[in-house]
């Protein structure tokens, strides 16, 4: 259940920086302020100029402050899925107190035991999400505090990412004069926010089409099972229009917004519009279908790359189908084109909040909703990776951590684990996904 209070999200995108101020009252969200500023200093979702990015953040924050009437002192910032790795981890400790009643300190200690691992110098732990606790062998416990026991076990998911990306985002927030409450993995927050309970359980693919990159994520059995980042997005459509029609990027963006359609079969050669061409004294007439074919070529390439990685794990057979969101997904005809390519049910997610009914705000809204739902157990466990790690009294070894394969979001398809003999007995997408990913999550 969401806690009453004010939550602020910061979504640093390639084309724009969004800030959303939300107020939770009795588990109901009310958006009270929004900021949306053009991005500078980013390329393909990655910070390449800290000072320019800081200026963009400050402009978006100022807008949100003016609309909400509050001073923003800290934010919850979204992290892109570039090179994201997810590992299964386990910890085990002896309960510290003489009464053997499990306390918050024990919860911190078992989390610390679970994250004892060797992290490569270029990577950093982002967060730890507890999944289940065991007290003296009794499983399925979500909050062990107050229970009596001798041994406490925890199973969880450990998320790590490139240290450079994490550091640069943190630095931008700090230089903008803001505190940092939470760093939220954007595709995880998005899946938790926009999917129904059944879609998270039975399996659904989310494709977030941003300006500089497209993120494909698979949610199955209520866990983020797979993520992939393709370094192409809506900006590339604009650049294609600019190059092919020999017009400026500003004109190309206007053409995309005013006349663009991603599905040529629904367009006409008889509908024409003027285009200012570099080197020409007079505008040149271009028909609607020709522009649509330019747009289709790039969007089709993006979808085909996503399809290739999804086919490798048969995720397109999941009953939830594909949900598109992000600014580039709002272009007319994208849904029809995606349905032709993915051969499954495809729908567009649009936020239903007043004044924010545009897919570009999906991530910013998802971040505040995700953070508001984080419980006390998460915050206690977070102390184990924040640098304030209490010494855990171990029962046997320093930690019990089972090596696992990694779910990666990268710029190229990842190699998945082959099914075992036992898993091969199951057929269909459920069996294949369980086989491919059983070493990670089972």
DSSP state of 101: B
Q: State the average pLDDT over residues 276-293.
A: 94
Residue 385: count of CB within 10 angstroms of its CB: 19
- Asked if 60 contacts 13 with a C-beta cutoff of 8 angstroms, the reply is no
- Asked if 228 contacts 82 with a C-beta cutoff of 8 angstroms, the reply is no
The rounded distance, in Å, linking the Cα atoms of 363 and 16 is 12
Give the residue, 190 or 395, on which the prediction is more confident.
190
- Asked if 162 contacts 79 with a C-beta cutoff of 8 angstroms, the reply is no
Instruction: Report which secondary-structure segment, H or E, holds 235.
Output: helix 234-245
Residue 282 lies in a domain: yes
DSSP state of 277: -
- Asked if 351 contacts 310 with a C-beta cutoff of 8 angstroms, the reply is no
- The yes-or-no verdict on residue 210 having pLDDT over 70 is yes
* Residue 1: band (very low, low, confident or very high) from pLDDT cuts 50, 70, 90: low
- Burial of residue 287 (number of CB atoms within 10 Å: 0-12, 13-18, 19+): middle
The rounded distance, in Å, linking the Cα atoms of 372 and 367 is 9
The rounded distance, in Å, linking the Cα atoms of 167 and 159 is 15
Mean pLDDT of the chain: 86
Residue 72 lies in a domain: no
- Burial of residue 121 (number of CB atoms within 10 Å: 0-12, 13-18, 19+): exposed
Q: Find the range with the poorest average confidence among 64-68, 169-173, 220-224.
A: 220-224
Residue 222 lies in a domain: no
CA nearest 406: which of 163, 166, 81?
81
Percent of all residues in the chain with a pLDDT value above 90, rounded to a whole number = 72
Residue 230 lies in a domain: no
Which residue, of 296, 319, 344, is where some domain finishes?
A: 296
Rounded-to-5 percentages of helix, strand, coil across the chain: 35, 30, 35
Which residue, of 296, 322, 344, is where some domain finishes?
A: 296
* Residue 410: band (very low, low, confident or very high) from pLDDT cuts 50, 70, 90: very low
> Using CA of residue 50, residue 360, residue 83, residue 191, what is the dihedral sign?
positive
First to last CA, the chain: 27
CA nearest 96: which of 144, 158, 156?
144
The rounded distance, in Å, linking the Cα atoms of 343 and 194 is 22
* Residue 97: band (very low, low, confident or very high) from pLDDT cuts 50, 70, 90: confident
Instruction: Report which secondary-structure segment, H or E, holds 370.
Output: helix 362-372
Angle of helix 288-311 versus helix 249-259 axis, rounded to 10: 90
Q: How many domains does the chain have?
A: 2
Give the residue, 17 or 429, on which the prediction is more confident.
17
pLDDT in tens, 121-157: 889 999 999 999 999 999 999 999 999 999 999 999 9
Q: What pLDDT score was predicted for residue 355?
A: 81
Beta-bridge mates of residue 79: 185
Tell me the residue range of the domain where 251 lies: 235-296
The rounded distance, in Å, linking the Cα atoms of 77 and 183 is 5
Instruction: Report which secondary-structure segment, H or E, holds 348.
Output: strand 346-348
Q: Which two tokens stand for residue 318?
A: 């999941």
Q: Check which CATH number belongs to the domain holding 401 and give it.
A: 3.30.1490.110
Helices (H) and strands (E) in the chain, counts: 12, 19
Q: What pLDDT score was predicted for residue 44?
A: 79
Interstrand relation of 74-79 and 5-12 (parallel, antiparallel or unpaired): parallel
Residue 5 lies in a domain: no
* Residue 2: band (very low, low, confident or very high) from pLDDT cuts 50, 70, 90: low
Which residue, of 251, 267, 296, is where some domain finishes?
A: 296
Which phi-psi region, left, alpha or beta, contains residue 125 (left: φ > 0; alpha: ψ -120 to 50)?
Answer: beta
The rounded distance, in Å, linking the Cα atoms of 12 and 264 is 32
Q: State the average pLDDT over residues 244-273.
A: 95
Provide the 3-class DSSP secondary structure of residue 302: helix
Q: Check which CATH number belongs to the domain holding 250 and give it.
A: 3.30.420.40
Q: What pLDDT score was predicted for residue 84?
A: 87
Residue 137 lies in a domain: yes
Residue 20 lies in a domain: no
Angle of helix 234-245 versus helix 249-259 axis, rounded to 10: 110
Residue 189 lies in a domain: no
Q: What's the predicted TM-score (pTM) here?
A: 0.84
Q: Find the range with the poorest average confidence among 164-173, 222-231, 393-402, 409-418.
A: 393-402
- The yes-or-no verdict on residue 429 having pLDDT over 80 is no
Q: Which two tokens stand for residue 219?
A: 């949610």
Residue 151: count of CB within 10 angstroms of its CB: 16
């Amino acid at each position: 259940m969401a806690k009453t209070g004010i939550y602020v999200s910061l979504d640093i995108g390639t084309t724009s920086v969004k800030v959303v101020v939300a107020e939770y009252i009795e588990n109901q969200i009310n958006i009270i302020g929004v900021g949306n500023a053009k991005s500078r200093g980013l390329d393909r979702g990655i910070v390449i100029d800290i000072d320019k990015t800081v200026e963009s953040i400050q402009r978006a924050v100022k807008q949100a402050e003016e609309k909400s009437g509050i001073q923003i002192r800290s934010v919850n910032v979204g992290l892109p899925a570039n090179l994201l790795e997810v590992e299964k981890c386990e910890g085990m400790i002896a309960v510290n107190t003489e009464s053997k009643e499990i306390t918050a300190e024990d919860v911190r200690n078992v989390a610390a035991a679970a994250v004892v691992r060797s992290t490569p110098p270029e990577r950093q732990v982002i967060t730890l999400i507890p999944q289940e606790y065991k007290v003296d062998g009794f499983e399925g416990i979500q909050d062990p505090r107050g229970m009596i026991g001798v041994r406490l076990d925890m199973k969880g998911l450990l998320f790590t990412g490139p240290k450079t990306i994490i550091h640069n985002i943190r630095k931008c927030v700090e230089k903008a004069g803001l505190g940092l409450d939470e760093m939220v993995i954007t595709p995880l927050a998005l899946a938790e926010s926009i999917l129904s309970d059944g879609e998270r359980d039975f399996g659904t693919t989310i494709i977030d089409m941003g300006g500089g990159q497209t993120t494909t994520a698979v949610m199955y059995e209520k866990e983020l099972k797979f993520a992939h980042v393709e370094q192409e997005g809506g900006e590339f459509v604009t650049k294609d229009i600019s190059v092919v029609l020999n017009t400026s990027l500003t004109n190309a963006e206007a053409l995309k917004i005013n006349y663009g359609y991603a599905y040529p079969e629904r367009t006409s050669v008889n509908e024409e519009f003027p285009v200012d061409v570099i080197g020409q004294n007079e505008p040149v007439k271009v028909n609607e279908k020709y522009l649509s074919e330019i747009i289709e070529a790039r969007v089709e390439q993006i979808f085909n790359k996503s399809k290739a990685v999804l086919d490798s794990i048969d995720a397109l057979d999941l009953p939830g189908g594909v949900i598109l969101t992000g600014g580039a997904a709002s272009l007319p005809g994208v849904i029809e084109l995606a349905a032709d390519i993915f051969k499954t049910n495809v729908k567009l997610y649009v936020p239903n909040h007043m004044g924010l009914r545009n897919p570009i705000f999906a991530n910013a809204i998802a971040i505040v909703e995700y953070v508001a739902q984080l419980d006390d157990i998460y915050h206690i466990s977070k102390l184990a990776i924040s640098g304030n790690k209490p010494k855990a009294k171990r029962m046997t070894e320093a930690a019990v951590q089972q090596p696992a394969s990694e779910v990666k979001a990268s710029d190229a398809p990842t190699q998945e684990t082959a099914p075992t003999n036992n898993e091969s007995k199951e057929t269909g997408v459920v069996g294949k996904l369980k086989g491919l990913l059983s070493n990670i999550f089972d």
